[in-house]
Amino acid sequence: MNDKLDSAPNFKRARFEGEILTVSKDEEIATALSRLLGKPIIGFDTETKPSFKKGEFYHVSLLQLASDDCAILFRLHHLKDFTLIKSMFEDESIIKAGVAIRDDIKGLQKIFDFAPKSFIELSDMARDKKLKNFGLKGMTEEVLNLTLSKRAKLSNWEASDLKLDQLHYAATDAWIGRELYLALIKS
């Protein structure tokens, strides 16, 4: 598959192979977040339902957090109590690594208020290391010699049920942020 969305035929496709938890109810948040306890570095990403009309706007639909072995996908439009997520976001001892996180943080702050602590912008690290690529896909290829599929990017993240390819896409995007951070701090 070599098209604009899957452009690196010489690289193995990155795919998160751990457990994927989907959180759609407030009462599921504590149990899900407990899976990240003791994990000092997590990958971070968000997805928003795409807009195809001028002036049309959607809030962040999905928050993705991933450790080495567990990815948690929070379906934000189903949730109301963000207290525990806020606590994690404000915890300085947990590094949250991702790409283009400023917009992700701003989007999340439209849903619930928090003071972000220990969020690491990977594109800043890439610039400091004089890399050629600053986007998630390009950095994944340059640093990890893996490629990311972006086929699910423009799918409906507010659908009543997310498809398997959406779940893997979302989990992989968060997890790869963690993997990139670990690789960049070693280089």
- pLDDT (tens digit, 9 = 90+) per residue, 64-110? 999 999 999 999 999 999 999 999 999 999 999 999 999 999 999 99
User: Quick one: tokens of 142?
Assistant: 């340059």
User: Quick one: tokens of 66?
Assistant: 């991933």
What integer is the mean pLDDT of 174-183?
98
| pLDDT for the residue numbered 134 | 94
| pLDDT for the residue numbered 60 | 97
Radius of gyration of the chain (CA): 16
Domain boundaries, the chain: 18-186
| pLDDT for the residue numbered 84 | 98
Place of tokens 């996908």: 73
| pLDDT for the residue numbered 4 | 45
Between 121 and 2, whose confidence is greater? 121
Taking the alpha carbons of 54, 4, 69, 105 in that order, is the dihedral positive or negative?
Answer: negative
User: Quick one: tokens of 158?
Assistant: 């507010």
Q: The pTM is what?
A: 0.91
Taking the alpha carbons of 25, 96, 115, 167 in that order, is the dihedral positive or negative?
Answer: negative
For 18-186, which CATH class?
Answer: alpha beta
* Nearest alpha carbon to residue 135 among 145, 122, 120: 122
| pLDDT for the residue numbered 153 | 66
